[in-house]
Amino acid sequence: MQTQNLLDNYCRDLGKVIGNLHSLEVMLRLFLHNVDLERYGSPPPKVSLDNIEVDEFVQESYFVNYDSLGDLVKKYNDIVTSREMSELRVDENIIKLRDAFAHGRVLGSQPSPPFTLYKFGKPSGEHQVKVERITNLSKENLAEHIRHLLGQVNGVEKACKTFCPDIIG
């Protein structure tokens, strides 16, 4: 039973890291939607996803565009830096962590934690694959990722409250 609890807690912590990555992306999109008015115009386009259907077209905005997390972080960091609020910049190392979780493999030498996250590149012409990242997913490292990501989300929330206070109370 203790092994099952350990695995349940470990899976919960992995989920928290992934959830914080998603929260960060949504907060960046919210910020850019309301602050970067050059891209889509001012006022920002209204976004309603309540009554849409598959194969329907919607107005492009930061909420639905194809920008990667790297694109969003760069645009956000450029804006807060240009407005002399560099302390609110997002740590760009998070992009590699997110890419590793999105495209990597969580593997272990045994069927119980801790596991390791491996990110591999595209194969070369010689059937070789570059190892791009190895992340130890120990309980302590997961806790640090959760803490760091939550701090990044809170920083973007602070930027939203500063630059577009009407959207976040």
**Over the stretch 139-161, which tens digit does the pLDDT of each residue have?**
999 999 999 999 999 999 999 99
- Write b or e for each residue in 73-111: b if 16 or more Cβ atoms lie within 10 A of its Cβ, otherwise e: bebbbebbeeeeeeebbbeeebbebbbbbeebeeeeeee
User: 106 has which bridge partners?
Assistant: 117
Helices in 36-64 by DSSP H: which ranges?
37-40
Across 39-138, the runs of DSSP E, i.e. the strands, are 105-107, 115-123, 129-137
At 26-40, the pLDDT tens digits run 999 999 999 999 998
Percent of the chain with pLDDT over 90: 69
Q: Please report which confidence band the pLDDT of residue 169 belongs to, taking 50, 70 and 90 as the band edges.
A: low
Start-to-end CA span in the chain (Å): 43
The whole-number pLDDT of residue 135 equals 94
